[in-house]
């Protein structure tokens, strides 16, 4: 039996923040990126929250949120005892908010009424997923917490909030969306519902992401990419991901490569690997490439996948993404030394079982080593 649900209420558009005006007499903990307090972005959000509510801000959010930072937020949670938590920012902010909720509810023996997610990047899909990724800085590992109740109750998708993102953030987070879509498309738990969302996200990202990179003030393109991020998140939350993410998490943990960029480096090799070892994956990739206009309708599956891989590389070049660890600034010798550790931890990652093919250690090492130099 397959299960399909979209528990998050989603409001999309330049007026979506008005939904916050329905909050009354709540204790609200705003969890946001460290640069947001005092910014126009946060002021605009706060302007939609009326004075009947008590608000506090936790903004000590860092990339790849470590457990100690989350526990600082938990202390504030326990003092405020919020009825509402609002996560504002990129994936790290929303994951921090989910982590604070997870530990805060357990330690405080209480439940919040609602978690509201307001993404300011178009990438993680965290506003519709049940996952919070926490970093173990001592072991250089990322540990996902997966609980269905962590899925936000409400997501507000305002494209105005992503229009001031730095170009690199637009590029890396947008390529993360493409990775979510391509991995969930062929993941083991994919079904007709998720495939439809994955295919639409692939189409939207390949057509509109580079435009967002070049012209960040294009509100129509921004809205499409913001919504594509959301539906790709919905798809992978149900279908799963795969070895692109399981290895990318190691690049982040060991070399501090931004998550979206790590996926961008690995994606061409993972698509090629899965297409080579699974006829079903090959066919799904080919259909998606044709639907997105990347390959002509009449070409064979293998040629269609080659065109898809070429498109990924072309987009990366157009958005100035370094495509190797060396180009990012990592010493290749250091990266090679850690190959066995990367492979071992990639196999332990929660995203690993979703891959359509079970790779050998040598296969994983081959994919990893392809992005070193």
pLDDT at 250: 95
| Bridge partner residues of 116 (DSSP) | 86, 154
30-43 pLDDT per residue, tens: 999 999 999 999 99
Comparison of pLDDT for 115 and 131, the residue scoring more: 115
pLDDT at 239: 96
**Which residues have C-beta within 8 Å of that of residue 246, sequence separation ≥ 6?**
346, 347, 349, 351, 352, 355
Residue (of 288, 264, 262) closest to 275 by Cα position: 288
**Which residues have C-beta within 8 Å of that of residue 192, sequence separation ≥ 6?**
none
Which residue has tokens 């519709």? 128
Q: Name the band, by pLDDT with cuts 50, 70 and 90, for residue 140.
A: confident
pLDDT at 144: 78
**pLDDT greater than 90 at residue 341:** yes
197-256 pLDDT per residue, tens: 999 999 999 999 999 999 999 999 999 999 999 999 999 999 999 999 999 999 998 999
pLDDT at 64: 80
Residue (of 176, 161, 287, 309) closest to 222 by Cα position: 161
Q: Name the band, by pLDDT with cuts 50, 70 and 90, for residue 136.
A: confident
15 φ, ψ to 5°? -110, 15
149-159 pLDDT per residue, tens: 999 999 999 99
Q: Where are the alpha helices (DSSP H) in 158-295?
A: 167-186, 192-214, 219-239, 243-255, 259-277, 279-291
**pLDDT greater than 80 at residue 2:** no
CB 204 within 8 Å of CB 294 = no
Distance from C-alpha of 245 to C-alpha of 367, rounded to nearest angstrom: 12
pLDDT at 4: 75
pLDDT at 134: 85
- Determine which of 60-64, 187-191, 259-263 has the lowest per-residue pLDDT on average: 60-64
Comparison of pLDDT for 350 and 113, the residue scoring more: 113
Average pLDDT, the chain: 95
pLDDT at 133: 83
pLDDT at 138: 78
Q: What is the mean pLDDT of residues 251-265?
A: 95
Which residue has tokens 């061409």? 268
pTM: 0.94
Distance from C-alpha of 10 to C-alpha of 22, rounded to nearest angstrom: 15
**pLDDT greater than 90 at residue 135:** no
Whole-number percent of the chain with pLDDT over 90: 90
């Amino acid at each position: 039996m397959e299960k399909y649900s979209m528990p998050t209420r989603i409001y999309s558009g330049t007026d979506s923040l008005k939904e916050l005006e329905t909050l009354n007499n709540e204790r609200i903990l705003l969890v946001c990126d460290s640069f947001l307090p005092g910014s126009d972005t946060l002021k605009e959000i706060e302007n939609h929250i009326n004075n009947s509510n008590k608000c506090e801000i936790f903004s000590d959010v860092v990339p790849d949120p470590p457990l100690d930072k989350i526990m600082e937020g938990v202390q504030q949670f326990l003092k405020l005892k919020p009825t509402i938590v609002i996560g504002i920012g990129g994936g790290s902010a929303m994951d921090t908010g989910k982590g604070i909720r997870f530990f805060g509810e357990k330690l405080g023996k209480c439940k919040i009424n609602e978690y509201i997610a307001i993404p300011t990047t178009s990438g993680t899909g965290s506003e519709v997923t049940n996952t919070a990724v926490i970093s173990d800085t001592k072991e250089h590992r990322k540990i996902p917490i997966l609980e269905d109740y962590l899925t936000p109750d409400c997501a507000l998708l305002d494209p105005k909030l992503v229009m001031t993102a730095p170009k690199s953030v637009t590029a890396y987070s947008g390529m993360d969306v493409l990775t979510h879509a391509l991995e969930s498309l062929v993941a083991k738990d994919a079904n007709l519902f998720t495939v439809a969302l994955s295919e639409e996200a692939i189409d939207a990202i390949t057509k509109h992401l580079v435009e967002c990179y070049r012209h960040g003030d294009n509100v129509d393109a921004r809205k499409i990419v913001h919504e594509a991020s959301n539906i790709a998140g919905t798809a992978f939350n149900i279908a799963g991901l795969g070895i692109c993410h399981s290895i990318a998490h190691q690049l982040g943990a060991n070399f501090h490569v931004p998550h979206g960029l790590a996926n961008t480096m690995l994606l061409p090799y993972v698509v090629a690997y899965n297409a080579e070892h699974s006829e079903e994956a090959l066919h799904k990739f080919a259909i998606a490439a044709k639907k997105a206009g990347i390959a002509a309708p009449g070409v064979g599956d293998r040629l269609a996948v080659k065109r898809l891989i070429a498109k990924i590389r072309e987009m990366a070049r157009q958005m100035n993404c370094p495509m190797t660890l060396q180009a990012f600034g990592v010493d290749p010798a250091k990266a090679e030394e850690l190959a066995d550790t990367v492979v071992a931890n990639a196999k332990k990652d929660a995203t690993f079982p979703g891959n359509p093919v079970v790779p050998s250690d040598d296969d994983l090492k081959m994919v990893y080593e392809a992005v070193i130099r």
